[in-house]
Structure 1
Amino acid sequence: MKKASVAWIAVAGGPALALWCVPLEGALFVVSGPGEQAAPGLAEADEAQVTLRGDHGGRIVTWLARVSRVAPGTDEWDTLAPLVGAKRLNAPGPTAELVARWATDGCALVRLAPSGNAVHGADLPADSLAEATRPAPVVRAVRKPFRLHRVRRR
């Protein structure tokens, strides 16, 4: 977990979402909200399922996490938010401005602390667990390819 930068997080039986995270103090921290990644229901959840991948790209562990929100203005926020903000890639501006925006724009800084047993190794499912493609308004029918010259049939 200490090398994780992306985790697949599922809340309340919903689909797992790939979310950027920062490992600190034996937990994962995720920022979501306006101007950040979308994690519907995570800030209000009590627990979530976290899946991490290994260096080979495959799943190596899945565990249940206790979800707790770090409130702006607390000592915990003042300590953790700048550490998480410093790890944010492509941040628009300095870390102090980023953390201030998180506090005022309604972004959620969430701690995912392990609870219960982790599933790893031979206990992981052997099948892929790939989900079917979700419907989206941007998907449209593919036309037949254009042919410049006449193609003879034999």
Structure 2
Amino acid sequence: MTEELLDKALVEEATKKSGLIWVRSDGVPVLGAQSPAASSRALWHVWHDGAACLMGDGPGEQPLPDLVDGGGAVVTVRSKDKGGRLVAWSAKVVELTPSSPEWEAAVAELKGKRLNAPDGEAMTARWAQECRVLRLEPTGMTGEQPTGSLAAPPLPTPATTRQPIPAALPRLLRRKRKRR
């Protein structure tokens, strides 16, 4: 019983303090050295009422992995100071119904953490129409700690900042050096 309470406290504290969690559907096999972490997603979240709450799958929002209501998920939490894997825990996925009391409470917490929202105060109405709000309720420790680095190339995304440098940039940089 004491070990179970300690595990629950570790999951809660580690998840509260971490800005990101890595989430994959429970149906995805354990990652190994040859399997890239393409099935796990780094997601921002908030810890609210005993569960990790997250929002996504809408235009301009974070893409969620293949999580289904009532299904399972595996959550990996990193250490805030060292950045390494701290704990992995299994979760039950609960999709919240828009405008329900649970949805309203979760969204009130999430909107405070959403950075650079394009629509400000209207974002909650947009979330109700276009996005999914999920609760990942802990069901226990997974006991699995994958070996290796699990480093993988980033997943394809339309959100990119890599573009060729403007042709005039090298000349502009040379002029600044000459003026000094």
| Partner Cα distance (2:65, 2:44) in 1 | 14
Match of 1:100 in 2: 125
| Partner Cα distance (2:51, 2:91) in 1 | 9
- Cα 1:109/1:129, change in 2 over 3 Å: same
Contact 1:22/1:30, CA 8 A, preserved across alignment: yes
Q: Does 2:85 correspond to 1:59?
A: yes
Aligned residue for 1:114, secondary structure, equals strand
Q: Does 2:66 correspond to 1:41?
A: yes
Q: Larger % of helix: which?
A: 2
Deviations 1:52-72 (A, max 9, x none): 100201000011111001110
**1:23, CA displacement in angstroms?**
1.3
Count of residue correspondences: 132
**1:4, CA displacement in angstroms?**
2.0
Q: Larger % of strand: which?
A: 1
TM-score of the aligned structures, taking structure 2 as reference length: 0.64
Task: In structure 2, give the amino acid aligned to 1:100.
Answer: A
| Partner Cα distance (1:4, 1:27) in 2 | 13
Q: Does 2:126 correspond to 1:112?
A: no
- Cα 1:93/1:61, change in 2 over 3 Å: same
TM-score of the aligned structures, taking structure 1 as reference length: 0.74
Q: How does 1:5-154 map to 2 (within 5 A)?
A: 5-11=19-25, 12-13=27-28, 15-35=39-59, 36-44=61-69, 46-54=71-79, 55-95=81-121, 97-105=122-130, 107-119=131-143, 124-131=145-152, 133=153
| Partner Cα distance (2:116, 2:154) in 1 | 28
Task: In structure 2, give the amino acid aligned to 1:53.
Answer: R
- Cα 1:58/1:100, change in 2 over 3 Å: same
Structure 1: tracts of 5 or more residues without a match: 137-154
Task: In structure 1, give the amino acid aligned to 2:85.
Answer: R
> How many percent of aligned residue pairs carry the same amino acid?
36
Aligned residue for 2:73, secondary structure, equals strand
Match of 1:3 in 2: 17
